[in-house]
Structure 1
Amino acid sequence: MQTQVNKKPAGYIASDAANRAEQAKKDRAGRRRAHKFLRRVALVSTFGGLLFGYDTGVINGALIYMSDDLGLTPFTEGLVASSLLLGAALGAVLGGQLVDSRGRRNTIILLAVLFMAGTLACTFAPNTTVMVLSRFVLGIAVGGASVAVPTYLSEMAPSSRRGSVVNQNELMIVTGQLVAFTSNAALGNFFGHQPGIWRWMLVIATLPALALWIGMQFLPQSPRWLAAQGRFDDALATLRKVRTLSRARVELAEIKKAVEQDGRREHAGWQSLSTPWVRRIFGVGVGLAIVQQITGVNSIMYYGTQILTESGFGRNGALIANISNGVIAVAAALVGMRLLNRVGRRPLLLVGLTGSTCALLLIGVLSLALPPSTLRAFSILAAMGLFLAFVQGTISPIVWVMLSEIFPLSIRGFAMGVATCALWLENFVIGLSFPVVVKWVGISSTFFIFSAMGVAAFLFVLRFVPETRGRSLEEIEAQFRGEAA
């Protein structure tokens, strides 16, 4: 007796294969559509990073001319440069609260208006007092953007691309600084004899502020913020713009679970620190923010022209040479974008701290060993470039990515705001004190101090910082919960 074998008709098999091929075609189209929209989200929102970079970098060259017009002393130079940083500390806290209450997108739109107002106030400042106050207001926008933009990007990006997408903000920051260095050099070399040329250096920032305000009108709210408000249908609609439909549904289920878990406990602001695992994440976040600053990177980004002038360059030569720092920072950020999704965050951060600390030590040695000369000037410029390659290619992008991903959804804005506030306060102290410290102890001893702090940063990362690459935001939160259980 023969066993009857059920065979599908040839027409059925052909139809099934055609259906699978059609579905695969739809999936590829869906992924292309999602990637295209995500690129638009990253491009528009990171104009906030461009403004962050330009407004912090433009002072590097503008300060030389501003000092003559406003009669600045070493202390008031530091005050003008660092008043933005103090404002950024306040802006980080306020921005953290706003992104939780008003949403990531709405906060960025509000910050675009503040960028515009602060830039115009700085441009037309008649004296030092008004300049310091205007830079403080502009700093509020910078600090708010340093919280809102990475948070928005991290919540819009899939876990497989989160590192590179969030790092686009870091790329735009250093691009903004490069644009500032380049425009400073061009305006300084061609129109430096004109009174008030520094005002033209400052006013350029109104253009990206306007682009940010217009562009954000056409982007959606973060899906995770929508879910935290109980708006799950809206969250799914947004996820479908940046994911395939199947992936959007799976991810929404994970977000719902995290929202339900967070809803079982009190998590309003500082009260959340009563939970041990949240307190641990909070400490790691603040520590990472401090690590990013004690490298001394912004002493070079803010005072690079002055350092190069003291090393042996003339004023115009220093402005031009300083462009190389911006070019290296952008190139390193591009390399960092490629590395972030391929190499673990923690080992890459340790490599970056090792390289940057050695470069700082080299700057100190060169400043001590060589007299002011062309050789000294170019040697220090090369060491500064090596330092920036390590910082902007590893440390800065990793810190900003990790700050945007390690905190639980319920307090993400608040916690990132406080951590970023710590970053800006330290930045303020360095920016204010750098000219004074250099005057007291000299360039070489100042960079020896920075290198010692780099060793301390390395030890902190080695002991406390976890690995987060390849995990969704909800999986990272679950990891910390599990370790505390």
Structure 2
Amino acid sequence: MTMDTTRPAPGTDEPDIAEMVAGTPASGKHRGILAVAGVATLGSLLFGYDTGVISGALPYMYMPHGAGGLALNPVEEGLIGGVLLIGAAFGAVLGGTMSDRWGRRHNITILAVLFLFGAIGTTFAPSVAVMSPFRFILGFAVGGASATVPVYLAETAPKRIRGSIVAIDQLMIVTGQLLAFTMNAVINAAHGGPQITVTANHNADQHGIGLGQRSWDSVLALQASKGGPMDDAQFHAFVNNLVVSAGNGAAWRWMLVLCTIPAIALWIGIRLMPESARWYLVKGRIREAIGSLKRVRNPEKDGSLEDEVTEMLETRHHEREEAGARGTFKHVWQTPWLRKLLFMGIFLAIVNQTTGVNTIMYYAPKVLEYAGMTTSASITAQVANGVMSVIGSALGLWLILRFRRRQILIFDVFGVAAALLAIAGVFHFMIAPHIADGTRPPAWTAYLVLAMMALFMLIVQSTNGTVVWTMLGEMFPSNVRGVMNGTAIFFMWVVNAIITFTFPSMMASLGGGLTYTIYGVLNVVIGIVLLKIMPETSGKSLEQIEGYMEKRYS
């Protein structure tokens, strides 16, 4: 059993912190906080790549087996997207508990292995049935990273730059998504867009689909949603009566395999980084906490190490006096102020998803096809959304240093509502009339939708993503931070899964106009609620935040 060195030495009121700080060497080579953040957020890069890559892979997976695709139907499309999110929900909860028990760095090391294993499995899966468990594993790693990396960064970074350091996590998520979108576009261009080779057409009405090599878009154009003559059932029957002997549908495998590279880099790099000093303190390992802090602190910039350790110990002693149980969900639920704080964290996590951001991350190519783009053009256009996401997240690093968390998030939800309602207006007034007439919308309408999407991504990534991930990493007490953060992010992934499952059906049955109107109005309501209930954490140390939250929710 590890001795609890946070307790006072015999005959004294408190441990001699000055002596312990002076007598404890750094636990390893000094690592700049940017180096620590750069390595740890490779997990966030993988989070972004694995969630973003599917938007470009799905169009190829939809192609017939003979062309190298998986001949997906809408149910299987939802399964491929949804099973990752279900895995992420469990990964968030269990990942938080695992990081509380075994350490933040240790947990990230395990997640790197899961990222690698899941990527290899999905790449070589011959069917949806085989792919699904590997997608679940990838999701578990994604959820675990979403619960662990922000906490590791928040606990490792000095107070003066903690907001910006944790915001790097969000920047790396969207960088991973941009990387996925870019590689999707490159691989798509290298293959010349989706192509099939038709050797027989057994349909009574061949609708111009003759023998030989054909663009897959020429087949998709027969769907009623694209101005063609066939409803979904008729279209799938038509495709089943085609004999396809070749094609480039296997392009999706190249898209998926690329994330093995950062997974290997994460496994190597995180082993060179220090463990969280605050996690060591929770475990009563004060000398190891000091040694870890010395690896990532610059006394000239970050202030006295002795003062920081003293503040951490005082908070830790308060936690021990307050609770007999440590780090358990039962303790959180039985402590009224912690339970209220957990509900606040869950609400913020849900707000991160109700913006509708992932309707664009996962389905933008499909939405742009509804608006009149070809498959290849829509895959390439998704890069623009990725670029705006990265610009927005970089802008968020600046915003979070100059404005208060509460101000930024409230501005976000109202700005997002305006962008969503603008997209709804384009669909309702400019696109829907053409679909109703069985004609393709003008090409410029798709680019107008893309412009509104890009503006939406700039707003949401510079504000919502930065603030929510930063606050989830800092608003919970250290002894239950992992389990509370994991629980909040569990609900984030559940809502993400609900949106992912329902959005295609909403687009098909309600149309883009009404679908995006619903999301726009929802964000107006959420903005009004945030005005009344959102707390503020700007400019406070983690220990000060804990005291503020206990006072606010007691």
Q: Normalized against structure 2, the TM-score is what? A: 0.80
Offset of residue 278 of structure 1: 1.0
Equivalences for residues 78-89 of structure 1 within 5 A: 78-89=78-89
Q: Deviations over 1:340-359 (max 9, x none)?
A: 12110001101111111100
Gaps of 5+ in 2: 1-25, 64-68, 196-247, 432-440
2:61 touches 2:249 (CA, 8 Å); kept in 1?
A: no
Look up the SS of the partner of 1:220 in the other structure. Answer: coil
Determine the C-alpha separation between the residues in 2 that align with 1:484 and 1:146: 25
Cross-structure match for 1:180: 180
Residues 58-137 of structure 1: pairs in structure 2 closer than 5 A: 58-68=53-63, 69-137=69-137
Shift of 1:484: 4.7
- Whole-Å separation in 2 of the counterparts to 1:391 and 1:248: 37
How many residue pairs align between the two structures? 453
Contact 1:75/1:435 (8 A) holds in 2: no
Equivalent residue number for residue 320 of structure 2: 263
Contact persistence 2:178–2:383 (CA under 8 A): yes
Q: Deviations along 1:400-451, whole A, 9 cap, x unmatched?
A: 0000000011110000000000000000111111111211111111111111
Indicate the residue corresponding to 1:453 in structure 2: 522
Residue 456 of structure 1 and its aligned partner are, at CA, apart by 2.3
Q: Distance in 1 between matches of 2:376 and 2:549?
A: 52
| Closer/same/farther in 2, CA of residues 363 and 484 from structure 1, 3 Å limit | closer
- 1:132 to partner: Cα distance: 2.0
Moved more, 268-277 or 252-261: 268-277
**Are the equivalent residues in 1 in contact too, given 2:48–2:174 (CA < 8 A)?**
yes
| Aligned-partner Cα distance in 2 for 1:423–1:484 | 22
2:344 equivalent to 1:284: yes
Q: 2:474 aligns with which of 405, 408, 418?
A: 405
How far did 1:240 drift? 1.7
Q: Distance between the aligned counterparts of 2:85 and 2:525, measured in 1?
A: 23
* Residue range with higher mean Cα deviation, 210-219 or 123-132: 123-132
Deviation at residue 136 of structure 1 after TM alignment: 1.1
Tell which deviates more after alignment, 453-462 or 173-182.
453-462
Paired residue for 1:10? none
Describe the SS at the equivalent of 1:468.
coil
Asked if 1:443 corresponds to 2:512, the answer is yes
Gaps of 5+ in 1: 1-29
For 1:65, the aligned partner's letter is Y
Partner of 2:399: 339
Give the share of equivalent positions with the same residue, in percent.
Answer: 42
1:252 corresponds to which residue?
A: 309
In structure 2, the residue matched to 1:199 is: 253
Distance across 2 between alignment mates of 1:270 and 1:406:
19
The whole-number CA distance in structure 1 between the counterparts of 2:377 and 2:173 is: 24
CA displacement, residues 238-279 of structure 1 (integer Å, 9 cap, x when unaligned): 112222345221111111111111112134222322222212
TM-score normalised according to structure 1 size:
0.91
- Determine the structure 2 residue equivalent to 1:155: 155
Match of 1:240 among 282, 286, 294: 294
Instruction: Please state whether the residue corresponding to 1:234 is helix, strand or coil.
Output: helix
Q: Give the letter for the 2:425 counterpart.
A: V
Name the CA distance, whole Å, in 1 between partners of 2:172 and 2:340.
Answer: 31
Q: Deviations over 1:211-245 (max 9, x none)?
A: 00000110010000001111111111111222234
Q: How far does the alpha carbon of each residue in 1:363-407 deviate from its partner, in whole angstroms, 9 at most, with x for none?
A: 011011113221211110011011111110000110000000000
Q: Contact between 2:340 and 2:553, CA under 8 Å: does it hold in 1?
A: no
Matching residue of 2:494: 425
Q: Does 1:230 align with 2:280?
A: no
Please tell me whether the aligned partners of residues 286 and 419 of structure 1 are also in contact (alpha carbons under 8 angstroms). yes
